[in-house]
Structures are given as structure tokens and as C-alpha cells.
Amino acid sequence: MDINQLKAFEHVVRLGSFSKAARYLDLSQPTISMRIQGLEKEVGGGLFYRAGKRIELTEAGKAFLPYARQAIEIVTKGIERAQLMQEGKAGHVAIGTLPSYTSGMFSSVIADLNIKYPEIKVEIHTGHNQQIIEMLYDGFIKMGFMTKPYFNTDIKSILTFKEPLVLVAHPSHPIVSSSVKDLSCAEIIKESKPYIIVDWSEESKHYQKSMISPRVDYLELPPATALDFVLAYNGITLLTEPMVSDLLEEKKLVQLQPADLPALYREIALVSLETEQSLSPAARTFVHAFRERL
């Protein structure tokens, strides 16, 4: 029994004749007859009988019809699903990302992907670099967003991009009323009360540490905690531009731009243990969606 036999049977029932089913399926009438005969042989009895010029279903045919239609529907959906999988329009993608990289462009790409390819199911796990590396080795995820540098030679970089770091404070912070451009970074950090160091990269951490003098009040906090701290009227910190862009636009934070502030970045890589070409079609669609936004 195959799908072509079932389709021939269903079309004969629906159109009421072998000749009409043959024309609809662009087949010869003998081919339709052979397919029905093959099906009847497997079922173990006749499926049709003639009532004058009409053909009618036998009791066995009536019993078999709903199952035949269900089988056609299931096989058709299975074929469509397999084709979508091969085309990268359906599938499952398990990725890891940093707790501080779950908003901005990341969430925007995920939302767009869900609208364009609703059959691609993205499973997201968060963790820091070492946790993402462990999830990759355990097979828990296929790709992960990590900060550079990393030193595992078998991890392959698929995409890399930079996020600018910006110095921010709450609008009510005393430093905001000052002429910030006339102040040096060291002077701003001294008046932060406290200055909050966030470890975005070796370069940015080294720079922030170099600005800390013995009299400076400072804390070292993770990104989300640092943001909450500043939003609660406490201190000044360096955060990624995507992390604070909406808050700056809403005037819930103020960007400080001293003239001697160097250009600082967090560099992120999308990594995998596989090459991009070896990833599943759905995973490659995910990569393409991010690449388009860079």
C-alpha cells in the first residue's frame, strides 16, 4: 500500500468515477484501475461496486475511507514538514546566550524569526562563558553567544560583532548638573559615589581599574545588578549601548561623555563546535537572521 494508491481511491470517491479521477491526477484510466485493484488486494475485498452508471462504496470501502484520508493527510504533512526542515524553515535550534545579551538586537531577531518562520522553535539557555562552553560540550546547545576572547581551540566562531560601552548615570545624580565635558574620566569616577565596575572585557576592566584611586568608592557588580543600582539613583557605570538605548531615549538614564573617554567595546562571538555549513538548516537560518542585522 502506498500514498499513490490511497490518493487514487480518495479521488475516485470524491469525483465519482475512475475516468474523472484519472483526468484530475493526469493519469491514464488503466493506471487508476491498477492502483485501486492493488489497494483492494491489500484490504482483502472490493472497495467499490457499480450501481447503474454510478459507482458506490462497499461497506469495506466506507469503513476504509476515513482512515485513507487520515493517512493521506498525515503523509502529506510529513512530506511538507520534511521539506520545510530541509529548506531551513522548520526545526529546533538550541542556543546559549549571556544573561546580559538577551535584549536589544537579540530579542528583536528572535521575534522577527518567530514571525517569519513560526515552525522554527528556538530554545534559549543563559549562562556565562564557561557555562556556555560546558553546554556546547554536553550537546545541550548547538550554538552560543560568548564574549571574546576564549581559548578553546575546537570552538569555531561563526559571527563576531562589537557593542559600544557607554558611561551612564541617573538624571538626578549630582554629576549630571556639572559640565561633564569639562571633567576628565578620573574626575567623574571620583564623584560617582560609587563607581560600579562591570567586567565587559579585559580592556574595559583594565581601563576602569586604572581610573580607581585609593579614595574612590567603587563596587564590582554584574551587568543587570549594575543597571538596577544606577536606576535606583546610585552611582555611575559603563553599560552596553543596546542595554541602555531605550532608557536613554526615555530619559531614565543620562549618557556622560567626557572628552578623554576612549572608545570601549564588548566583543561578542556566536560560536559552535561545528562549522556553519555543518549546522542544521534551521540553525543556518538562525545565523542568517543575525548576520542580516549586523
For each of the chain's 294 residues, which pLDDT tens digit applies? Answer: 889 999 999 999 999 999 999 999 999 999 999 999 999 999 999 999 988 778 999 999 999 999 999 999 999 888 888 888 888 899 999 999 999 999 888 999 999 999 999 999 999 999 999 999 999 999 999 999 999 988 889 999 999 999 999 999 999 998 887 766 678 898 899 889 899 999 998 889 999 999 898 888 999 999 999 999 999 988 999 999 999 999 999 999 999 998 899 999 999 999 999 999 999 999 999 999 999 988
* Domain that includes residue 74, residue range: 3-86
CA angle (250, 256, 262) in 5-degree steps: 130
Query: What is the DSSP secondary structure assignment for residue 280, as one 8-state letter?
Result: -
Asked whether residue 255 falls in the same domain as residue 175, the answer is: yes
Asked whether residue 53 falls in the same domain as residue 103, the answer is: no
Asked whether residue 274 falls in the same domain as residue 284, the answer is: yes
Asked whether residue 200 falls in the same domain as residue 257, the answer is: yes
Spatial distance between the Cα atoms of 80 and 151, rounded to a whole number of angstroms:
42
Spatial distance between the Cα atoms of 139 and 135, rounded to a whole number of angstroms:
6
Asked whether residue 274 falls in the same domain as residue 142, the answer is: yes
Q: Are 154 and 272 in contact (CB under 8 A)?
A: no
